[in-house]
Amino acid sequence: MRVLIVNSVCGIGSTGRICTDLYDELVSDGHECCIAYGRGTAPNQYNTYKIGNKVDNYWHVLETRLFDNHGFASRRATKKFVDFIDAYSPDIIHLHNLHGYYLNVKYLFSYLNKKDIKIFWTFHDCWNFSPHSAYIDRVANNELPTRNTYSSERLEYPKSLFISRSRHNYNKKKKIFTVNNNLNIITPSKWLEGLVKSSFFSNNEIITINNGIDLNAFYRDDTTYLKRLLELEDKKILLGVANIWEPRKGLNTFNNIAQGISDEFQVILVGKIPAGVKIHSKIIVLDQVNSTEELRKIYSSAYIFINPTSVDNYPTTNLEASACGVPIITSSVGGTPETIQKGRGIIFQNFDDLLNKISFLGWFNENIEFDSKKIDKEVSFKKYLEVFERR
């Protein structure tokens, strides 16, 4: 079986690592694989195809910012990519994030809709059926929006500075994506599956396969690492982890936590803080972590891992922290509750409730056996292979 995987990045970020991990699983099972990606670079050990170049990316960003044309630029790059698909002749195409300033979805699906190729599309967010944003919520009558629900939504990723073409883009996506009889959709959470079933993809086959993590990389390790590194003595570490601390990740909540907790605690954030964004003086930021090994030790050093995200699909940071034996306090949005195992984590309802759960850890029960199979990437990828082979 020859499989072509398509994503915005390869080997970096959560979706990029999912693609390379799945590639490894496919190849070890005797299949041929290639990853097509649009931005950054790829690890040398993988068979890859780069869609476009930096000029194409920058032009796509420009069309997005000026004309709200995200997903409909990169024409030249996508035409060349279609020629590559023809030459590679895959048995299965596995799509991931098609947004990300690198691909023209109209050109791609105009080609795919004429071909008898099995297509699996893993949705990591809502962009594929959204008028604009990567994350949306239900509106009146419990329906999904067909245009921006508020004027400033155009400023969310993928940002448009002046123009909103949300209804137009929604109708284009609906027309392009709903005519392919070979399209199967995979979601990482039941929450997202529910949204997809309410969208214009409702007639497609929809399967939920939870994301997994590498349990050889994340496990209970040195619990004193951060205290030694930062000379924190007997502080109880409240940890947050993100790639970039954009607003939806909950940075303001951490600022408020730093203001409201006693001196026995120390807030530490891992990830980049955007330029111009203020953080509380009591927060320590580690904007660069050099390895999975270091990240594992950071997780293991935490007293509590906190994820106050305001919108998310199935956050793997919760899984990583759980695998490192850390209690988790997280928000109730999206598919986030699906990442929590009984006795190992808890949902907070509001900020006062969050502070109470930080102060009193009676909800955590380390004697409850942790079910690693629920978060093991090997289990997840075997489900992918089963789905690929039976369809």
Of 288 and 36, more confident? 36
Residues 157 and 133 in one domain: yes
Residues 311 and 180 in one domain: no
Average pLDDT estimate for 24-38:
95
pLDDT digits (tens, 9 = 90+) for 195-214: 999 999 999 999 999 999 99
pLDDT, position 221 = 94
Residues 79 and 188 in one domain: yes
Closest-CA residue to 311 (of 159, 135, 127, 147)? 135
Note whether residue 126 is domain-resident: yes
Q: How confident is the model at residue 72 (pLDDT cuts 50, 70, 90)?
A: very high
Note whether residue 220 is domain-resident: no
Q: Which domain does 245 fall in, by range?
A: 225-374
Q: Which residues contact 372 (CB under 8 A, 6 or more apart)?
A: 215, 323
Tokens read off for 8 = 């915005």
In the numeric block, the tokens 């099972």 are attached to: 29
pLDDT digits (tens, 9 = 90+) for 331-360: 999 999 999 988 899 999 999 999 999 999
Question: What is the Cα 294 distance to its own chain's centre?
Answer: 21
Residues 169 and 282 in one domain: no
Q: Say if CB 208 and CB 190 are below 8 A apart.
A: yes
Residues 196 and 325 in one domain: no
Query: CA–CA separation, 89 vs 34, rounded Å?
Result: 11
Note whether residue 152 is domain-resident: yes
pLDDT digits (tens, 9 = 90+) for 218-258: 999 999 999 999 999 889 999 999 988 988 899 999 999 99
**Domain CATH code at residue 386:** 3.40.50.2000
Secondary structure class of 299 (helix, strand, coil): helix
pLDDT digits (tens, 9 = 90+) for 124-163: 999 999 999 999 988 888 899 999 988 899 999 999 999 9
Report the mean per-residue pLDDT for the chain: 94
Whether the predicted pLDDT of 321 surpasses 70? yes
> What domain count does the chain have?
2
pLDDT, position 246 = 86
Supply φ then ψ for residue 239, to 5 degrees: -110, 140
pLDDT, position 391 = 65
What is this structure's pTM?
0.91
Query: CA–CA separation, 234 vs 295, rounded Å?
Result: 21
Specify which residues 347 forms β-bridges with.
Answer: 330
